[in-house]
Amino acid sequence: MLKINPKIKEALEKGMPVVALESTIISHGMPYPKNVETALRVEQMIKDHGAIPATIGIIDGDAIVGMTPEEIEQFGKRKGILKASRRDLPVIYAKKLWAATTVASTMIIANQAGIEVFVTGGIGGVHRGAQETMDISADLQELAKTNVTVVCAGAKAILDLPLTLEYLETMGVPVLGYKTKELPAFYTPHSGLAVDYQVDSPKEIASIIKEKRKNNLAGGLLLTNPIPEEYAMDAKIIHDAIEKALKMADEQGIHGKESTPFLLKTIVELTGGDSLESNIALVLNNAALGAEVSKELARK
């Protein structure tokens, strides 16, 4: 069911380093043309570090692995693109719809294509108040069962980070910190929460991934990469913006899969665009690391 770009297919067959990218950043992350510019910048960052980017999206019911610049442009301009997680895929495929892939669905499609490393901004997780709402992202279940390494700047800061870590521990997902013992908090490098293990080089990370696969330990691996300090937001400013955005979502009755896009968009507005620039910086930083890890994995 996959449509793999011939260049990506050839790279995979030759054992070259390939890095998967999601498409929600294009359709749901930011306005046009910033969305397209950012997607292409992230791809270029991966190329600059010696790997091959494969942006994944669904067009007319086909899962595209390695979208062309033209397809990314279409994605960036098109209105009404759906947001696809695991539960949505069979319906989207059957109805021949357009959809952007989340962390969960990108992991599924990347795994089907044979891509180990996937770069994103931040994963979904346990939402605040989940004790009552049971609002837990499908990303966490996917990490528990799908063999893909996810490079991110931690879980999105709008979430309940301690409960997210607890859930990942329960599901047996290793949480690694790149050159840090502390879980990054998306917009800032610090959360006050410990990761499972610190790792200090792409070579070390690749060896852990290889051991996981060699020993048939199914499931993903979460590699958290702190946003560089020069791009990090002031902790109080972002905390206040998040609290205000959460209150607005509650007052407007926004929940479920609509909550994250609403919250991120509102935080951008409340911070005068600063959070968007931090978001872009952290994705680019993750892309560089993901490319280096992919290169190490490709070495025999």
Q: What is the DSSP string of 125-194?
A: -BBTTHHHH--B-HHHHHHHHS--EEEESSB-TTB-HHHHHHHHHHTT--EEEET-SB--BTTBS--S-B
Task: Point out the residues that are catalytic.
Answer: 22, 156
Given a cut of 90, is residue 75 above it in pLDDT? yes
Confidence (pLDDT) at 276: 87
φ and ψ of 213, to 5 deg: -75, -40
Look-up of token digits 């911070």: 271
What is the per-residue pLDDT for 261?
77
Contact (Cβ atoms closer than 8 angstroms) between residue 100 and residue 85: no
Helix (H) or strand (E) holding 224: strand 221-224
Q: What is the pLDDT of residue 152?
A: 98
What is the CATH class of 2-298?
A: alpha beta
Q: Give the tens place of pLDDT for each residue, 189-240.
A: 999 999 999 999 999 999 999 999 999 999 999 999 999 999 999 989 988 9
Total-model pTM: 0.93
| pLDDT exceeds cutoff 90 at 96 | yes
Burial of residue 137 (CB within 10 Å: 0-12, 13-18, 19+) is: buried
The CA distance from 104 to 112, in Å, is 13
- Is residue 88 predicted with pLDDT exceeding 90? yes
User: Can you tell me the distance from the alpha carbon of 221 to that of 168, in angstroms, rounded to the nearest whole number?
Assistant: 10
* Interval 2-41: pLDDT, tens: 999 999 999 999 999 999 999 998 998 788 999 999 999 9
CA–CA separation, 156 and 184 (whole Å): 9
